[in-house]
């Protein structure tokens, strides 16, 4: 399996996790306010990743110590590498990248939670949020990364497919939709920031930092603008655990790790499948049915993703 294929499969798994998480976020908003939900889910994600990093470090240390004659050499090599990094200043991308990713992710998540608070139709919310598939290649133009015609065609197919899938009774904008449009722009920024920093640092460690940044910002907003009720938080424990551990700790870490080997335009298309998985999740878990219109929408989105994975030819 090539690195590119592995990265794409990880992003596909990410989209699945996020698609189901939309239900968790909607349920969570029945009990707690946006800052509270965002802050708590972020701390959960950060703690899970911190535990993983500790376990990983312990296993690596045990593996090195278990090879005679290599432990001392490895330790000296690691110290030399750390000293070199400090001199060259190359450690900073981990912390600076984690802080930048955390600020942008917090902004996107808060806008999404606030949009959900004003109760737009779930399908329309999913469609508006996933508009980052259009914004990412557009931003790429200004970054002097011109997507080929194949990517643009895939974006058009995916946009049409998500419209058929999510919008049933005409397209109108209300207050919640405005927040979700801003959320799509913020998620575009997050994809581009991750694309910049992910090759420069350890993906899991950077994701851990970004979640603690989200948690701190969420806590500040919670204390300043919301009333914290422990009883309500306890009622929202299941949505918080799913959104924090799976959607946050697992999903966003998979995104950072996978984007090292995938172009941002293709990554945005793959992650936009969360809208499709949300509908399919309702089909399987809630016994809902797909209309002909929705089925055509799913087919168009899948076709767009497949088109984006085809080998490049003549730069297109």
Say if residues 274 and 125 touch (Cβ distance below 8 Å).
no
Q: How far is CA 163 from the centre of its chain?
A: 21
Residues 186 and 102: their CA atoms lie apart, in Å, by 12
Segments of the chain scoring below 70 in pLDDT: 1, 66-91, 119-127, 140-147, 165-174, 265, 279, 281-290, 305-306, 308-316
> Could you read off the pLDDT of 153-201 as tens digits, one per residue?
877 887 787 777 666 666 566 677 788 888 888 988 998 898 889 888 8
Give the number of other Cβ atoms within 10 Å of residue 186's Cβ. Answer: 23
d(CA 269, CA 279): 17
Give residue 210's pLDDT.
94
- Tokens, residue 306: 């497949």
Q: At what angle do helices 274-285 and 149-166 cross, to 10 degrees?
A: 30
DSSP label of 305: H
Query: Are residues 272 and 133 in contact, defined by beta-carbon separation less than 8 angstroms?
Result: yes
The answer to whether the CB of 160 falls within 8 A of the CB of 300 is: yes
Measured distance CA(198)–CA(57) in Å, rounded: 20
What distance in Å separates the CA atoms of residue 236 and residue 221, rounded to the nearest whole number?
Answer: 19
pLDDT value of residue 60: 83
Per-residue pLDDT at 39? 94
pTM of the model: 0.75
Rounded to a whole number of angstroms, the CA Rg of the chain reads 21
CB-CB neighbours of 249 under 10 Å: 26
Q: 64-76, pLDDT tens digit by residue? A: 776 555 454 455 4
Rounded Cα distance between 315 and 265, Å, is 14
**Nearest CA-CA partner of 207 in 188, 193, 189:** 193
Q: Among residues 284, 287, 277, which one has the least CA distance to residue 22? A: 277
Q: Tokens in use for 124?
A: 């329309």
């Amino acid at each position: 399996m090539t690195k590119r294929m592995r990265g794409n499969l990880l992003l596909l798994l990410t989209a699945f996790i996020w698609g189901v998480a939309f239900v968790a976020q909607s349920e969570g908003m029945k009990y707690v306010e946006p800052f509270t939900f965002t802050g708590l889910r972020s701390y959960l994600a950060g703690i899970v990743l911190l535990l993983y990093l500790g376990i990983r470090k312990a296993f690596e240390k045990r593996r090195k110590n278990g090879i005679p004659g290599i432990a001392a050499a490895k330790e000296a090599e690691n110290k030399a590498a750390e000293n070199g990094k400090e001199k060259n200043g190359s450690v900073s991308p981990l912390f600076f990248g984690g802080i930048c990713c955390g600020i942008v992710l917090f902004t996107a998540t808060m806008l999404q939670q606030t949009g959900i608070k004003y109760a737009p139709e779930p399908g329309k919310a999913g469609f508006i949020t996933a508009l980052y598939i259009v914004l990412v290649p557009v931003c790429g133009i200004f970054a002097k990364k011109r997507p080929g015609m194949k990517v643009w065609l895939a974006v058009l197919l995916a946009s049409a497919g998500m419209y058929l899938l999510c919008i049933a009774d005409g397209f109108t904008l209300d207050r919640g939709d405005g927040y979700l449009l801003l959320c799509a722009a913020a998620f575009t920024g997050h994809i581009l920031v991750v694309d910049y920093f992910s090759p420069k640092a350890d993906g899991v460690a950077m994701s851990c930092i970004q979640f603690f940044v989200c948690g701190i910002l969420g806590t500040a907003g919670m204390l300043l603008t919301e009333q914290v009720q422990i009883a309500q938080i306890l009622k929202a424990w299941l949505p918080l655990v799913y959104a924090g551990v799976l959607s946050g700790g697992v999903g966003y870490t998979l995104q950072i790790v996978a984007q090292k080997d995938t172009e941002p335009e293709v990554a945005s298309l793959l992650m936009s499948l969360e809208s499709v998985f949300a509908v399919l999740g309702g089909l399987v878990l809630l016994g809902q049915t797909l209309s002909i219109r929705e089925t055509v929408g799913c087919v168009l989105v899948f076709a767009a993703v497949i088109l984006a994975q085809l080998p490049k030819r003549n730069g297109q």
